[in-house]
Chain A
Amino acid sequence: MHRLLAFTERNRKEILRDPLSYIFCLGFPLVMLIIMTLVDQSIPKEAGMTVFHIENLAGGILVFAQTFIMLFTAITVAKDRSGSFLIRMYATPMTSRDFIGGYILPMLLLYLIQALITVITAFIIALITKADLKISGLILGIVLGLPSAVLFIGFGLLAGTLFNEKAAPGMCSILISLGSFLGCIWFDADATGGVMLKICRCLPFYYCTKTVRAAMQLQFTGNAFWKPLAIVSICAVVILTLAILAFRRRMRADLA
């Protein structure tokens, strides 16, 4: 456990000392919330667009921001693999468990900081726009956003393990676009319906947003909350397991 925590600490420092992490992981949700709220203000009421109302937007941005943590995980892992540092660590008593845990934990920490910034900003916006967002809902949103955070960290670990430093960010951008679009962050698939909704329902991203939005709005009904939560959790476990298997395999191959 000590080794895992030592590696976590190293990764935490490596990440938080990279200015990009502040821009993407921390500054980004804040700016997006403000901009999209301004956009929302200029959409006429008759249009009936509700995705950009803060009570919907907050959950969407919280999930969207996680996709950048995925990108960061991928970059961190791919970068380590391309250098000689990780190889050197293979000759120490560090096990694959230490490596994997040490990559995941600091990313979860990054998520918590990010989510905190998101909900605080959302809370202030809700006060200004007199929207119905409760502190309890926002806090639950952070906690219930965890399975989805794990899912994205798993995707990141997988991308960083399978692809090199150049290709991994590219693969992640595809997932970022897919995730934000099919995650229904910028439009309401439930209202649109049709083929779009069917496609969204085939991928986990839609359920990520749905879970967090429901939690923030304190709507704990089966269809709005429990079902999506179960789907996200299962996907998170599956993807993370795949990522761990891939990482172990890669480690064994590096030591061949």
Chain B
Amino acid sequence: MKAIEIKGLTKRYKTKVAVDHMDLTVEEGELFSLLGVNGAGKTTTIRMLSCLSEPTEGEAHVLGFDVRTQPNEVKARIGISPQDTAVADNLTVRENLEFMAAVYGKHGTQAKEKVEEMIRIFRMEEVAHTRAKTLSGGWKRKLSIAMALIGAPKLLFLDEPTLGLDVLARRELWQAIEAMKGKITIVLTTHYMEEAEQLSDRIAILIDGRICAVGTLAEIEAISGQKGLENAFVEIAGKGRTIDA
């Protein structure tokens, strides 16, 4: 079974086609990065795959389930860390995690263990009793990601997970992501080429809602004729822009 299978997926808003007939397959256990300039359609794609937005056209299967007709099956198996950190402000870090654990049907000692595990993985011991609204942006983001993981999802969507993290926190998060690699499927969006280079098994570059290049780092480099992801990205995405203009 494929983790994600997309055929002709399209999202049309009144004035804008955010995702345009996208075809894509993501293998199980893969770490897949979606790259693209602002407004390329990364978040919209993730929203459709996580049942937060109805596709206008096309088909998407997530873990074998149709996002249109089997949203409950999909939702029970995925985790999402949205681009805007989303936490319950008046709850402490631990309470936020306990709440999410309960939402995913974890109770008693099982829930406790899971909460402690997340606090350990993300090194949140010192802020465990801090209310979310007083956390710094970086801590909030870590909490938001931990909340996405606590349900032990088979597929995890990370929409710009390291936005606003300091260098050390970013490295820490990379380690945490690398530790999960292979165990679960991860779809990541980022504007940091270095991050995509280090973490991804495969990469797709989106321009105006269309996938313009997809493959391993080496394949992307070959397509663009450039060395390094940043150069390859500039070549591909930059061209797409000039063609459009």
Contacts and interface: CB of A to CB of B under 8 A. Distances in A.
Interface of A: 2-3, 5-7, 9-10, 13-14, 17-18, 83-85, 87-94, 255-256
Contact of B82 (A7, A14, A84, A255): A84
B72 interface: yes
Interface stretch (B16-24, B97-105, B227-235): B97-105
B63 to A, nearest CB: 14
B88 A9 contact: no
B242 to A, nearest CB: 34
B95 interface: yes
Interface of B: 50-54, 72, 75-76, 78, 80, 82, 84-91, 95, 99-100, 102-105, 107, 131, 151
A148 B143 CA distance: 40
Nearest to B51: A91
A248 B5 CA distance: 29
Contacts of B103: 3, 6-7, 89, 92-94
* Chain A binding surface, main DSSP class: helix
B90 A13 contact: yes
Given A13-B91, A91-B52, A93-B72, A6 B86 contact: no
Most chain B C-beta atoms within 10 Å of own C-beta, residue among A7, A9, A83, A85? A85
Nearest to A252: B54
Contacts of B78: 91
B16 to A, nearest CB: 15
7 contacts: A7-B99, A13-B91, A14-B91, A85-B86, A93-B105, A255-B53, A256-B54
A100 to B, nearest CB: 15
A84 B85 contact: yes
A91 B82 CA distance: 10
Contact of B102 (A3, A87, A91, A255): A3
